Each structure stands twice: as C-alpha cells, then as structure tokens.
Amino acid sequence: MLTRPIPSTGEAMPVIGLGTWRAFDIGVGAAARRPLGEVLRLLLDSGGRMIDSSPMYGRAEAVTGDLLAETGARARAFLATKVWTAGRESGISQMQRSAELLQTEVIDLIQIHNLVDWRTHLATLRRMKEEGRGGYGYIGITHYTTGALPELARILNSEPGIDFVQLGYSLATRAAERELLPTASARGVAVIVNQPLERGTLFRHFRGCALPDWASECDCLSWAQLFLKYILAEPAVTCVIPATGNPDHMNDDLGAGFGRLPDPRQRQQIRQLWDAA
Ligand SMILES: NC(=O)c1ccc[n+]([C@@H]2O[C@H](COP(=O)([O-])OP(=O)(O)OC[C@H]3O[C@@H](n4cnc5c(N)ncnc54)[C@H](OP(=O)(O)O)[C@@H]3O)[C@@H](O)[C@H]2O)c1
C-alpha cells in the first residue's frame, strides 16, 4: 500500500485507514462482530494500520480492542482515539479508560475530539510526553465541520508539538484544500481525513452510473476508489479513514491505496463530474 511519512517523525503511514464511528458500535454477539473482525483482517493484511475511534463512539473502542486481542493483531495496528470531555482529571481518566478498552499499553495517537477543552488536554499531553509517561505516542486535534477549519489552522500556527490534525474533507466538501492543507503542510503536521465519503452520501449521486473510462488511467475500479483517490492526490494528506462494517466495502476502499493517483488534470475531471452530478 502507498504510504506517506508522518512529518514529525518520518514514520511511514499507509494511506488507507479505518473509521469506527457507528460501524463498530455494536454489542457482544458473535454474529454481528464476525464481519467487523473480517474488516480488520482485510485492513491489516493489505498493509493498512490506522484505526480511528473515540469514547464518543459508544462501544467502538471496546469492540476494536476485543477483536484485535482475539486475533493477536494489536502490534500491526496504529490505534488512534480521542479525548472528549472537559477538565484535566476527567481527560486523564478518560484516556486511561480508552487504553483499557482498546487493551493496549500504548495508544499510538491521542486526538482532542472536536477541540473540546483543547487547551487543558494539550497541556496535559505535552507534559506527559515531556516526562515520558502516559502511554501515548502522537498528539492530535480533530474536527469535522468546515466552520472549524480556521480555528484548527490558528491552533496549528500557534501551538507547537501537534503531530496530527484530523478534519472533514471529501469531493463534496473541499474547503480544507484552501483553508487547512497549506497550513498543515507548512507546519509539518500529518493530516487524517474523516468523512471522506461524506458519510456514504457521495454514492447516491452516481447510483446506476458507470465509471468514466478515464478512471482506469488512475487505477480506479469503483466510485469509492475514485472518491478516496481524489483526496489522496493531495500531497498534504497522510491518510483517509473511511468507516465500514462491511468486508466488501473495506476491500473496495483498500483498493484506493494501490496504483496511480489522479494527476491535476484528472482531479479537475473528477471535480467537474461531481459539480455536474
Ligand atoms: N470530529 C471527529 O473527530 C470526527 C468526525 C466524523 C468522523 N470521524 C472519523 O472519521 C470516520 C469516517 O467518517 P464517517 O464514518 O462519518 O463517514 P465516511 O467514512 O465518509 O462514510 C462512511 C459510510 O460510507 C459507507 N461506505 C464505506 N465504504 C464504502 C464503499 N466502498 N461502498 C459503499 N459504501 C461505503 C459506510 O457504509 P457501510 O458500513 O455499509 O460500508 C458508511 O455508511 C469515522 O468513522 C470516525 O472514525 C471523526
């Protein structure tokens, strides 16, 4: 799979990851969990690593932790979760709980979810990193709305020590191209793209439509691959985290991590296709 370096360390990150919102918020039933185990197996066997969760996603952290422990696959995954609460002590205990649920000693990336009480958590995470304790690797901040992009950019410009920014970006919602990607690139911050399929709604616009012939020029075999490769063609993007609980969809999404990416002319064609849809 294609990889991009995490700017703060140079560690290679495979470009296709997995979101767990909704898809992994399920109970303990073996039948419901089986496809999710398959989704994780496909991700990791294809060379993908990033799995994104949050205490906000109900049982998703626990389900992810159980499935990785059952298969002994923890070491192959890059676990990203979030802190989503106000207050220092509450943040620390929430992060400890996430580590328990994910059944890991080290959470590879902790992100401040939707910038909730971000000054407090950033101070906590920086102090823990400096003191070499806490069991966290990288530090990140997240949001998903276009309205939050200016604040994300302000924080990246003024606060050192942030390794990742996670933001909403898709063919339908392209403001990040102007409002955040140049800042992330200039500041050396890795970019995780959430809602890359616009929560699945991009597909509706092309239901029943054949892929254009020129899609094969950038090795796209499906609409999902065209949507994801459109994003991955931005050099500032480190990885995308489409969510799915469906192994066939995971396989489809993983295909976007291989082969040629759209060049600027092909990206323009993809935008025109969307704008005309
Ligand atoms: N503030 C934040 O930090 C924040 C906010 C939003 C999201 N996120 C993160 O970003 C992740 C992704 O965002 P998202 O879940 O909102 O939306 P998304 O990834 O844009 O879309 C997910 C939807 O697309 C469908 N899908 C995935 N692959 C497909 C394929 N190949 N063909 C057809 N349908 C496909 C899924 O359905 P199936 O399950 O049926 O495949 C699901 O309904 C989240 O899970 C979460 O981890 C973070």
pLDDT (mean) for 25-48: 96
Predicted confidence at residue 181, as pLDDT, reads 98
Q: Is the dihedral of CA 134, 140, 163, 122 positive or negative?
A: negative
pLDDT at residue 135 greater than cutoff 90: no
CA distance linking residue 248 with residue 192, whole number of Å: 23
> What type of residue is 45?
D
Exposed / middle / buried, residue 48 (Cβ in 10 Å: 0-12, 13-18, 19+): buried
Predicted confidence at residue 132, as pLDDT, reads 78
In angstroms, what CA-CA distances link 182 with 75, 93, 129? 33, 35, 27
pLDDT in tens, 185-220: 999 999 999 999 999 999 999 999 999 999 999 999
Please, what is the average pLDDT of the chain? Answer: 97
Distance 247 CA to ligand 1 centre (A): 13
pLDDT in tens, 81-116: 999 999 999 999 999 999 999 999 999 999 999 999
pLDDT in tens, 147-168: 999 999 999 999 999 999 999 9
> What type of residue is 40?
L
pLDDT (mean) for 114-136: 91
pLDDT at residue 277 greater than cutoff 90: no
Dig out the tokens for 143 from the structure.
């949001």
Enter the pTM of the model.
0.98
Predicted confidence at residue 247, as pLDDT, reads 98
Distance 131 CA to ligand 1 centre (A): 36
Pick from 50, 61, 63, 197 the residue to mutate for probing ligand 1's pocket: most ligand atoms within 8 Å of its CB: 197
The enclosing H or E element of 101 equals helix 88-102
Predicted confidence at residue 79, as pLDDT, reads 98
CA distance linking residue 94 with residue 90, whole number of Å: 6
Predicted confidence at residue 213, as pLDDT, reads 95
Predicted confidence at residue 134, as pLDDT, reads 66
- The residue whose CA has the least distance to atom 33 of ligand 1 is 249
Ligand 1 pocket residue status of 21, Cβ below 6 Å: yes
CA distance linking residue 251 with residue 242, whole number of Å: 12
Contact 49, 11 (CB under 8 A): no
3-state helix, strand, coil in the chain (%, to 5): 50, 15, 35
Contact 163, 150 (CB under 8 A): no
